[in-house]
């Protein structure tokens, strides 16, 4: 906190009452002005003097205690004193409960954690000046530190709440709230503040809401705005085997080993393309195993396992390769009956094993043909995400913000989860290798994080946990890799991830379980603070965290560039639909939209104008019917009984005419 901003909290004009009952975490107080029906004003400042959620200072001698008014009421006998406006207000004795938040030094504004000394009976209470609250909320910071201008006081928009990036992001940040609470707006605002202050950030945009943000964008999948310059792929062969397993979900007993060996066989085919030697490969690029020698294949396997350049394999051959993998483990020697076992060759095809693998094979075939998975499965050559992240995260990169638009990635086959998990893993690798570090930190923003975090794929026997962002939460901080996650389902965030999160921006939350999760995450949030959560309005949030001295309600500032909502806009869409069905005659006469209904309700008789000869139709005309509404007459300049002439023939092609 800059001490220059501090002034005495004990301003006599802001005095609102005195303490009458003290307990460890709250006090009861006489709040003389609370029953007057309206707030007080002093020198242009509004003093709420008894409104719930108002901050108050209690004079405790050496220290002051900052508290928040959470409940205010009148005793039974006095309750009628506020009933009628004509009655004299102010003659009542309202009582309030003030929740004690923290002790401060009244001279400097320095914060002591906890309550250093409790108020005494009769201690004086002062309504806190908004500027002091904003100074306290910012906590310790130097004047030369960067401050992000993210919020203002809900009841006084002239008072800004600024926060240093270190406080907000250094221990990860979560933006929580029910749908429509304002999470995406907050993410947008944070992102723009980061951008403005030269920070480096990657935004994973699962809905495409942030399309207008001024930053470099890459699209995954078949997006309408994607072109050869801005499309990125994540080739399947760059994923570890565990991700391929998560994607294909083989059964543990038979299918998993066959899938593994099929991938290895295909890597051999790719590596030794055209120079197979003793390895037998058919014209469809499938490695043949039945009755073939094992040794050449094993040698090749040894080689490719060590060779980093032999990672590629072709997905479209996988199904047929699995068929080839279904062979007996050993062959038989030729010679006298019964033949001896030959360990050096594989046996004949095993129909039993093939039967077990059929479900996997058909899944592979259907994914191979899925156009929406083209960014993953055998993608055409192009920029891939691991390379993009390599380039973006080096300190030499001059790109500061990057948006990955995932809106075209399908939900089917767990494509999204696997992709985001793989991105998380890649980022963690970059951090562990020192590319992302404390001098070159990276912030990763993920909206709608419940779609990706804490996902387990597959059944019990073959469950695969996608936990790379959990690892970032646990480990990323020590490398300078931090996440900002937004989700409407806090209960979906794993406990171990949540406990690593240092700051929270909590928008309106109505679900009890979600509120409990937030309470568990931050020790400073008690039941009293949580009770504000269901009542927050759009854009309002509770700002809390390890580095914030007390939980406080703020109004998040709107971003300059707003996210575009991706929910259906029924009114607009239906109105457009209405426009589309304007008939040619309505268009020709230029009937205003809101009068089309009036016009179409008329029983108009269109007559043909056949000139004097009478042998051809030149145009049509009609008489303005007697039931034409006044609005329509006025808008069109028509009068009943008048004629509308010279309507070209083509306009009435589909109308019944005389």
Ligand X SMILES: Nc1ncnc2c1ncn2[C@@H]1O[C@H](COP(=O)(O)OP(=O)(O)OP(=O)(O)O)[C@@H](O)[C@H]1O
From the CB of 518, what's the least distance to ligand X, in Å?
15
Of these partners, ligand X, Mg ion, none, which one is at the site of residue 181 (CB under 5 to 8 Å by kind)?
ligand X
From the CB of 382, what's the least distance to ligand X, in Å?
30
Q: Could you give the C-alpha distances from 621 to 173, 610, 633, 647, 651, in angstroms and in order?
A: 70, 11, 17, 6, 11
Give the integer Cα–Cα distance in Å for 594 and 629. Answer: 12
Residues 6+ apart with CB under 8 A from 226: 219, 408
CB of 109 or CB of 177, closer to ligand X: 177
Residue 57 structure tokens? 């200072």
CB of 213 or CB of 585, closer to ligand X: 213
Of these partners, ligand X, Mg ion, none, which one is at the site of residue 177 (CB under 5 to 8 Å by kind)?
ligand X
Of these partners, ligand X, Mg ion, none, which one is at the site of residue 210 (CB under 5 to 8 Å by kind)?
none
From the CB of 362, what's the least distance to ligand X, in Å?
37
Q: Which residues partner with 56 through β-bridges?
A: 67, 127
Nearest-CA neighbor of 134 among 101, 107, 105, 157? 157
- Single out the segment in contact with ligand X by CB under 6 A; choices: 120-128, 165-173, 278-286, 557-565: 557-565
- Name the residue with the smallest CB distance to Mg ion: 184
Establish if 558 lies at the interface with ligand X (CB under 6 A). yes
Among 179, 282, 330, 564, the residue binding ligand X under the rule CB under 6 A is 179
CB of 180 or CB of 355, closer to ligand X: 180
Of these partners, ligand X, Mg ion, none, which one is at the site of residue 154 (CB under 5 to 8 Å by kind)?
none
Return the residue matching tokens 């929270």: 504
Are 554 and 153 contacting, i.e. CB atoms less than 8 angstroms apart? yes
Of these partners, Mg ion, ligand X, none, which one is at the site of residue 591 (CB under 5 to 8 Å by kind)?
none
- Single out the segment in contact with ligand X by CB under 6 A; choices: 38-46, 182-190, 308-316, 420-428: 182-190
Region at 255 (left for phi over 0; alpha for psi -120 to 50; beta for the rest): alpha
- Name the residue with the smallest CB distance to ligand X: 539
Nearest-CA neighbor of 189 among 555, 453, 498? 555
State in Å, rounded, how far the first CA of the chain is from the last one: 85
Establish if 180 lies at the interface with ligand X (CB under 6 A). yes
CB of 172 or CB of 489, closer to ligand X: 489
Q: Cβ atoms within 10 A of the Cβ of 299, count? A: 14
- Single out the segment in contact with ligand X by CB under 6 A; choices: 78-86, 180-188, 267-275, 399-407: 180-188
From the CB of 180, what's the least distance to Mg ion, in Å?
8
Establish if 81 lies at the interface with ligand X (CB under 6 A). no
* DSSP-assigned letters across all residues of 376-440: TSSPPS--BHHHHHHHHHSTT----EEEEE-TTS-SGGGHHHHHHHHHHHHHHHHHHTTSSBTTB
Q: Could you give the C-alpha distances from 569 to 124, 537, 564, 574, in angstroms and in order?
A: 54, 22, 12, 8
Establish if 487 lies at the interface with Mg ion (CB under 5 A). no
Establish if 355 lies at the interface with ligand X (CB under 6 A). no
CB of 366 or CB of 564, closer to ligand X: 564
Among 17, 50, 94, 182, the residue binding ligand X under the rule CB under 6 A is 182
- Single out the segment in contact with ligand X by CB under 6 A; choices: 172-180, 333-341, 351-359, 492-500: 172-180
CB of 185 or CB of 532, closer to ligand X: 185
Q: What mask of x and - would describe binding to Mg ion in positions 169 to 208, judged by CB under 5 A?
A: --------------xx------------------------
- Single out the segment in contact with ligand X by CB under 6 A; choices: 112-120, 178-186, 243-251, 259-267: 178-186
Among 556, 591, 624, 632, the residue binding ligand X under the rule CB under 6 A is 556
Residue 8 structure tokens? 């005495």
Q: Cβ atoms within 10 A of the Cβ of 497, count? A: 23
Q: Is 537 exposed, middle or buried (0-12, 13-18, 19+ CB in 10 A)?
A: exposed
From the CB of 183, what's the least distance to ligand X, in Å?
3
CB of 184 or CB of 292, closer to Mg ion: 184
CB of 184 or CB of 414, closer to ligand X: 184
Are 47 and 69 contacting, i.e. CB atoms less than 8 angstroms apart? no
Helix, strand, or coil here: 353? helix
Of these partners, ligand X, Mg ion, none, which one is at the site of residue 179 (CB under 5 to 8 Å by kind)?
ligand X
- Single out the segment in contact with ligand X by CB under 6 A; choices: 44-52, 183-191, 316-324, 580-588: 183-191
CB of 14 or CB of 507, closer to ligand X: 507
Establish if 565 lies at the interface with ligand X (CB under 6 A). yes
Footprint (CB under 6 A) of ligand X, residues 480-539: 488, 507, 538-539
Q: Which residues partner with 98 through β-bridges?
A: 27, 69
Nearest-CA neighbor of 464 among 244, 239, 237, 235? 244
Q: How many residues bind ligand X (CB under 6 A)?
A: 16
Return the residue matching tokens 């201008």: 149
From the CB of 560, what's the least distance to ligand X, in Å?
12
Are 220 and 419 contacting, i.e. CB atoms less than 8 angstroms apart? yes
Of these partners, ligand X, Mg ion, none, which one is at the site of residue 310 (CB under 5 to 8 Å by kind)?
none
Give the integer Cα–Cα distance in Å for 658 and 573. Answer: 37
Q: Could you give the C-alpha distances from 5 to 45, 96, 142, 234, 597, in angstroms and in order?
A: 17, 29, 12, 51, 64
Are 128 and 153 contacting, i.e. CB atoms less than 8 angstroms apart? no
Nearest-CA neighbor of 424 among 351, 497, 344? 497
Footprint (CB under 6 A) of ligand X, residues 185-204: 185
User: What does the CA dihedral 494, 500, 503, 509 come to, rounded to 10 degrees?
Assistant: 20
Establish if 184 lies at the interface with ligand X (CB under 6 A). yes
DSSP symbol at 234: -
CB of 94 or CB of 154, closer to ligand X: 154
Of these partners, Mg ion, ligand X, none, which one is at the site of residue 565 (CB under 5 to 8 Å by kind)?
ligand X
Establish if 235 lies at the interface with ligand X (CB under 6 A). no
CB of 117 or CB of 565, closer to ligand X: 565
Residue numbers at the binding site for Mg ion (CB under 5 A)? 183-184
Residue numbers at the binding site for ligand X (CB under 6 A)? 177, 179-185, 488, 507, 538-539, 556, 558, 563, 565
């Amino acid at each position: 906190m800059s001490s220059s901003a501090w002034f005495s909290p004990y301003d006599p004009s802001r005095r609102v009452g005195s303490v009458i009952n003290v307990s460890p975490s709250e006090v009861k107080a006489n709040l003389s002005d609370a029953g007057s029906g309206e707030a007080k004003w002093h020198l242009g400042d509004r003093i709420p003097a008894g409104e719930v959620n108002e901050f108050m200072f209690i004079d405790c001698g050496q220290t002051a205690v900052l508290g928040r008014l959470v409940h205010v009421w009148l005793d039974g006998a006095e309750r009628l004193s506020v009933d009628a406006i004509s009655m004299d207000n102010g003659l009542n004795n309202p009582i309030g409960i003030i929740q004690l938040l923290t002790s401060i030094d009244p001279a400097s504004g320095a914060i002591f954690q906890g309550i250093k000394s409790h108020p005494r009976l009769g201690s004086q209470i002062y309504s806190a000046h908004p500027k002091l609250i904003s100074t306290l909320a910012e906590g310790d910071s130097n004047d030369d530190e960067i401050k992000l201008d993210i919020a203002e006081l809900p009841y006084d928009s002239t008072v800004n709440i600024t926060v240093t990036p270190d406080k907000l992001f250094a221990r990860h940040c979560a933006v929580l709230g029910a749908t429509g609470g304002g999470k995406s707006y907050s993410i947008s605002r944070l992102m723009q503040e980061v951008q403005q202050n030269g920070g480096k950030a990657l935004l994973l945009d699962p809905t495409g809401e942030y399309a207008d943000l001024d930053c470099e964008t890459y699209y995954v999948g078949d997006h309408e705005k994607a072109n050869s310059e801005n499309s990125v792929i994540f080739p399947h062969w760059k994923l570890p085997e565990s991700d391929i397993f998560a994607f294909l979900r083989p059964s543990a007993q038979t299918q998993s080993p066959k899938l593994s060996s099929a991938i290895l066989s295909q890597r051999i085919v790719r590596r030794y393309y055209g120079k197979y030697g003793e390895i037998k490969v058919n014209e469809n690029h499938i490695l043949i195993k039945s009755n073939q020698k094992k040794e050449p294949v094993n040698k090749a396997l040894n080689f490719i396992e060590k060779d980093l350049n032999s990672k590629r394999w072709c997905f479209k051959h996988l199904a047929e390769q699995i068929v080839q993998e279904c062979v007996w483990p050993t062959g038989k020697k030729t010679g006298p009956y019964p033949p001896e076992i030959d360990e050096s060759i594989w046996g004949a095809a095993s129909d039993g094993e093939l039967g077990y693998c059929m479900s996997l094979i058909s899944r592979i075939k259907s994914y191979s043909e899925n156009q929406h998975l083209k960014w993953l499965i055998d993608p055409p050559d192009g920029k891939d995400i691991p390379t993009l992240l390599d380039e973006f995260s080096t300190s030499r990169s001059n790109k500061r913000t990057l948006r990955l638009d995932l809106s075209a990635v399908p939900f089917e086959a767990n494509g999204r989860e696997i992709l985001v998990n793989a991105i998380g893993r890649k980022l963690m690798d970059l951090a562990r290798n020192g590319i992302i570090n404390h001098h070159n930190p990276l912030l990763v923003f993920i909206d709608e994080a419940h779609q990706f975090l804490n996902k387990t794929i597959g059944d019990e026997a073959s469950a695969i946990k996608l936990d790379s962002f959990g690892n970032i939460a646990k480990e990323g901080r020590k490398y300078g890799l931090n996440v900002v996650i937004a989700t409407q389902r806090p209960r979906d965030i794993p406990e171990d991830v949540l406990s690593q999160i240092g700051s929270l921006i909590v928008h309106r939350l109505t679900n009890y379980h979600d509120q409990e999760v937030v309470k568990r995450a931050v020790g400073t949030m008690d039941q009293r603070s949580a009770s504000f959560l269901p009542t927050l309005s759009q854009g309002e949030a509770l700002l809390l965290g390890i580095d914030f001295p007390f939980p406080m309600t703020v109004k998040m500032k709107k971003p300059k560039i707003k996210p575009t909502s991706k929910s259906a806009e029924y009114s607009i869409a239906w109105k457009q639909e209405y426009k589309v069905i304007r008939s040619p005659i309505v268009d020709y006469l230029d009937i205003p939209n809101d009068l089309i209904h009036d016009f179409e309700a008329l029983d108009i008789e269109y007559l043909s104008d056949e000139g004097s000869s009478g042998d051809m139709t030149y145009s049509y005309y009609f008489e303005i019917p007697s039931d034409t509404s006044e609005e329509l007459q006025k808008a069109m300049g028509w009068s009943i009984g008048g004629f509308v002439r010279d309507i070209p023939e083509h306009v009435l092609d589909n109308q019944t005419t005389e």
